[in-house]
Amino acid sequence: MNKRNLWSAFLMATAVTCLTSCGGGTTETDEKTADDAVAEVGALTYVKIEDATEVDPTWSTENTVIFHVIGEPDDMHPTNGNSATKTFLHNYTQCFVMAADIINLDVRPGVVKDGPVISDDELEFTYELRDEPTWDDGSQLTVDDIIFTFKAVKCPLTNNPHSKPYVENLEDIIVDAENPRKFTLKMKKKYIQNIVFLTDYPVMQESYWDPKKTLRNYSFQKLDDPNLNTSAADLSAWATEFNDAKYSRKPEFLVGMGPYEFSEWKPGQSYTLVRKQNHWTQKLAQPTPFETSYPEKIIFKINTDPNSQVLEFKTQALDASTYLSVKKLLELQEDEKFNANYHSRFTNTYNYSYLAFNCRPDGVEHKKFFDDKRVRRAVALLVPVDQINLVSNKGKNKRMVGPVSPLKKEYNHDLELLPVDVEGAKKLLEDAGWTDTDGDNVRDKIVDGEKLSFEFDLHYMTTAVGWRDDAQMISEALYEAGIKCNIVPLDFAVHYDRARNHKFDAMLAAWAGSSVPEDFTQIWHTSSWASKGSNFTGFGNAESDALIDSLKYELDMDKRIPMVRKLQEMIYEEQPYVFLFASTRRNVIHKRFGNADMYFERPGVLINNFQLLSSKSIATPSAEAN
């Protein structure tokens, strides 16, 4: 039975996108537009931006996009590293078996001809490679490259604990006996992401990454075996080279099948992609918006100073951004010249910010402040989330109650947003044994035989001033109840490293969400804490693990929805996070580019599809988007 449309139908039936964008210089009418519509998938899936009807003579004619960012990727290795920025850049430097379709909130064929043919038992997924994809050395993509890619991802010596859970269900890849370009992914169990997980893994060239073909000596079954001899000389030598830091940051080693390649990386300042010459996508008769490469160069310029960001947009030194603060975009939208030169909108996202607790501290380097859920709930009652939203985001962002976006059907509407309740927080702290015994206005407690003052560090990222302001407001609110919170700024790489190694008391951070049904293993399963994955807090027990394990394999949405809501209840009860906001994306794109559409799914833009306008091209309409 051909079930190639099963996933698409499932995804389209379950994803709902709500839109609340407001662009500078627009007029309000009684008719709903992309600026204020609430639409379901299939009706409106992104904001279609009409091309400028004339080219201003002051606009640059250089075919380079200078894209504003507030940080750099932690690691550009194809498998290692875990930042949203890395994933963003992979859209331009890498190719995938299946790829995210941010236009239709779906998955789309990448280097394969079509979606999979799915077996009746939904455990085998058969794909056929396209003929066009070639590597930079001119050799054609083969199934051997596909097999190598997923062996490399699965290998226990590969430094990618964050992504191991997504590939553990892959049992084998079988090459078709009659067609060497056809292959079948054999899965161990039905899994909610048996297709969509392929969008996370760039395809790697075996001859580049494994010239000795070491992984051909290791079957998928061997790599799954817990008794695998990981100290074997050949495997150890391969992994040492594969994980080498040069493949993470040095431009000459940052290779991939995508149409762009790294040309320069100036730490703390910028990183630059240049369009490859004669790339295979440039020979396609009808490339999709994901396969174009109109800009000759994309410069990602780091600027974390809000006032400098405003100045650079007012002087047209930057072409686009999704990283401005709400306050600064609102300020820019009051400027007539800015509105004449730029498209801008606010759009909802699936992303959310949070304050996380170290629920399993070692008690030595990091003391036992937050191992009691009463203390975590007390802090949650002290954090002035609504006030922070007003001050930092002008009320634009929406409060979160758990890890599931309010845009999804699985969202648990029965869970109530916590109010600020200082007296209730004090009572919980006292019940947990935290009192002020020495009159210094800071609570204390005897913990493991030691008098411990409730003074902890709150880590936050230096990528935006907003994080500092939020941390400061949290610190001031907690002191009201006798808790001293020291705010500690860290750059992203250090912040993430300390988080995954559980070297923190509490931290502010954010997750980039998606419209697809989730596998909660990475962030919420205890195995992801033990492996130093993305369960930074140590949340979880046998009951929550069992529910997460069941959710991975439950495809029936009627059964899945109540299970997801139950998990939200568990997380709500244990309070490992103080959930803050579902953020809005602040979209800005210069009008000198056509195809400046804005998407609700991450990353929100297709920079490769920005097409420089000229007096000759101005009459040519951009592609229909919906």
Quickly state the pLDDT bin for 516 (edges 50, 70, 90): confident
DSSP 7-22: HHHHHHHHBEEE----
Chain segment 82-100, per-residue pLDDT in tens: 888 999 999 999 999 999 9
pLDDT of 493 reads 86
Among 54, 84, 231, 35, residue whose Cα is nearest residue 613 = 54
Tell me: the pLDDT tens digits for 251-299?
999 999 999 999 999 999 999 999 999 999 999 999 999 999 999 999 9
Given a cut of 60, is residue 543 above it in pLDDT?
Answer: yes
Q: pLDDT-based confidence at 16, cuts 50/70/90?
A: very low
Q: Using one digit for the tens of pLDDT, what is the confidence trace for 189-206?
A: 988 889 989 998 999 999
Q: What percent of the chain has pLDDT over 70?
A: 91
**For 265-278, what is each residue's pLDDT tens digit?**
999 999 999 999 99
Q: What's the pLDDT at 174? A: 98
> Given a cut of 70, is residue 13 above it in pLDDT?
no
pLDDT band with cut points at 50, 70 and 90 for residue 616 = low
* Strand-strand pairing, 455-461 and 506-511: parallel
Predicted confidence at residue 615, as pLDDT, reads: 55
Maximum C-alpha span of the chain: 81
Q: Across residues 408-426, what is the average pLDDT?
A: 96
- The domain 352-582 belongs to what CATH superfamily? Dipeptide-binding Protein; Domain 3 (3.10.105.10)
CB 468 within 8 A of CB 520: no
pLDDT digits (tens, 9 = 90+) for 455-485: 999 999 987 778 999 999 999 999 999 999 9
Evaluate if residue 385 carries a pLDDT over 90: yes
What was the pLDDT predicted at 426? Answer: 98
Work out the end-to-end distance of the chain between its first and last CA atoms, rounded to an integer number of angstroms. 31
Of 583, 518, 85, 603, nearest to 353 by C-alpha is 583
pLDDT of 133 > 60? The answer is yes
Which carries the bigger pLDDT value, residue 37 or residue 559? Answer: 559
Query: What is the CATH code of the structural domain delimited by 95-252?
Result: 3.90.76.10
Q: Distance between CA 255 and CA 277 in Å, rounded? A: 15
Percent of the chain, pLDDT > 90? 79
Is 352-582 in the same CATH topology as 95-252? no
Among 79-83, 169-173, 446-450, the least confident range = 79-83
Return the domain boundaries, the chain.
95-252, 352-582
